[in-house]
Each structure stands twice: as C-alpha cells, then as structure tokens.
C-alpha cells in the first residue's frame, strides 16, 4: 500500500515508475493515492536547513574556533588552561564540531560550545594567532538560534526513533512545528523572523496538506481521544468537565 523514501530525485523517479506499473494491474489501494509518503524527518531537515542558510554567519566563527582549537594538541591544552582560568567553567563535555549537512549536529555544536564562550574570549586575549572569536553580537545571535533549534531538535528525536511507533506522532508534531513557525513570524527578532519565513515556505511546499494516511495514526491513538474528549467538554460545558475529570 505504501512506500516510504527519502526526498531524492532518483527515488521520486523510481516510485513514479513502480506506481504506474502496479496501477496497470490495479494492485494499489485507492489508485496509489497513499503509495508514496515522504520521510517526515527528512522534510524537517530540509525545513531547518533552509532557515540556517540565512543565519550561517552567526555560528561560522564558532565552527572555525573549534577547528582552530582542535587542530593541534598544544592548542587544546592551551584552551583547557583557559577554561581552568575561568573559575565558573569546567571542561566536561568537550568541544563539538558539526557536520554541515546535518542541522541537528549544528544544534549540538552550538549547545555545547556556547558554554565555553568566556574561555574562547580568554584565548583571544592570550593567543594572537586565534582570530575567529565571535563578537558579543554574534554570540548573542548564536544563543538565540540555539534556543530556536532546540524546539525542532526535540521533534526530530521523537519522529526519528526506532524503538516505538511514530505514525501517531506525525499529525501533532507537524501541527506543533507549524505553530512554532507562525509564532516566530510574529517575533521582533529580525534574524529569527527571516529564518521563519524561509522555513515556512519550505513547510508549505511539503506539508501544506497534511498526509491523510499518517494522520490516521493520531485518530487511532486512544490516548489522544481522551485529550480531545476533555477539550470538547470544555467547549460544551465547563462545569461538567470539571466534575468529570476531578473524580
């Protein structure tokens, strides 16, 4: 009934050929309407990557700083000395370098390396060869982007899991992402607003229409039915729902 693939042009060509062949024999349910379903995690990756294209300058210097420190063992030793010189810091998690094609690794890089901001600033003051330290504004932008990306990082971990079913999460998570983007579009932060606009355009390209077949996962999840029932009671009779759910 259904084929799930990454969003690659070669896969699109493959599924088009397979779909037309199977349809000739009437072997597909609903004439193949639900045959090809794009990978939700991959779509989310495309959405976030579009937003990061606008904000790349906010974390490029952090990436170059990590490369500089990790480039030589002597620099890493010097950096640890800088961490020790800042009494409020402990070198526990180490420095992370991202894979540019995986936005989730960019989030991990920002989340871990921003903690060492003062150490990088100390290194700048003591190592004249180090020229990649972000400015105050760049650190601030990187922190705001990191906080923004955390919301998508959570969703990616949920829908990418292999240890439990995820189809029932599709509808609510896509709706959650849409709400986040709509909220960001109303933000006074111009950088985040610009990111939100790019991401919303990509969102509409793939998820303007929710996948009906995946939405059924939410319909069949009895836990969501209880939540929906409570919501409907609140709309109909507030007093009834208070008595019902406080029993």
Place of tokens 């995946």: 214
Nearest to 115 by CA among 83, 150, 74, 145: 83
Q: Look at residue 204 in the predicted model and tell me its pLDDT.
A: 92
Question: What is the number of alpha carbons within 13 Å of residue 3 lying toward its C-beta?
Answer: 17
Mean pLDDT: which of 8-12, 130-134, 218-222 is highest? 130-134
Tens-digit pLDDT profile for residues 50-90:
999 888 887 899 999 999 999 999 999 999 999 888 867 66
Structure confidence at residue 140 as a pLDDT band (50, 70, 90): very high
| 24-46 average pLDDT score | 82
Least trusted range by pLDDT, from 31-35, 59-63, 137-141, 240-244: 240-244
Dist. CA 164–CA 167, nearest whole Å = 10
pLDDT at 227 over 90: no
Q: Look at residue 67 in the predicted model and tell me its pLDDT.
A: 94
Sorted by where each begins, the domain ranges of the chain are 1-38, 41-161
Q: Look at residue 38 in the predicted model and tell me its pLDDT.
A: 77
Nearest to 114 by CA among 152, 63, 153, 72: 63
Q: What are phi and psi for residue 2, nearest 5 degrees?
A: -140, 145
Find residue 238's DSSP bridge partners.
none
Tens-digit pLDDT profile for residues 167-191:
888 888 888 899 999 999 999 999 9
Tens-digit pLDDT profile for residues 86-127:
867 666 677 899 988 888 899 999 999 999 999 999 999 999
Q: What is the DSSP letter of 87?
A: T
Q: Going by C-beta distance under 8 Å and a sequence separation of 6 or more, which residues neighbour residue 23?
A: 31, 32
């Amino acid at each position: 009934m259904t084929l799930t693939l990454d969003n690659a042009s070669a896969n699109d060509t493959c599924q088009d050929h397979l779909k037309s062949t199977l349809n000739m024999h009437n072997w597909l349910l609903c004439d193949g309407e639900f045959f090809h379903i794009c990978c939700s995690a991959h779509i989310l990756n495309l959405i976030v990557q579009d937003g990061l294209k606008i904000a790349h300058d906010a974390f490029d210097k952090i990436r170059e700083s990590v490369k500089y420190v990790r480039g030589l063992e002597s620099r890493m030793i010097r950096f640890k000395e800088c961490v020790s010189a800042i009494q409020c810091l402990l070198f526990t998690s180490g420095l992370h370098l991202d894979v540019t094609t995986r936005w989730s690794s960019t989030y991990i890089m920002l989340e871990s390396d921003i903690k060492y901001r003062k150490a990088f600033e100390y290194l700048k003051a003591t190592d004249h060869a180090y020229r990649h330290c972000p400015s105050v504004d760049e650190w601030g932008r990187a922190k705001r982007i990191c906080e923004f990306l955390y919301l998508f990082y959570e969703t990616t971990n949920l829908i990418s899991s292999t240890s439990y079913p995820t189809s029932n999460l599709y509808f609510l998570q896509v709706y959650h992402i849409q709400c986040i983007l709509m909220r960001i579009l109303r933000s006074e932060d111009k950088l985040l607003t610009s990111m939100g606009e790019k991401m919303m355009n990509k969102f509409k390209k793939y998820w303007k229409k929710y996948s009906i077949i995946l939405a059924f996962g939410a319909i069949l999840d009895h836990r969501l039915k209880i939540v929906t029932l409570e919501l409907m009671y609140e709309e109909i009779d507030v007093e009834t729902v208070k008595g019902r759910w406080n029993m």
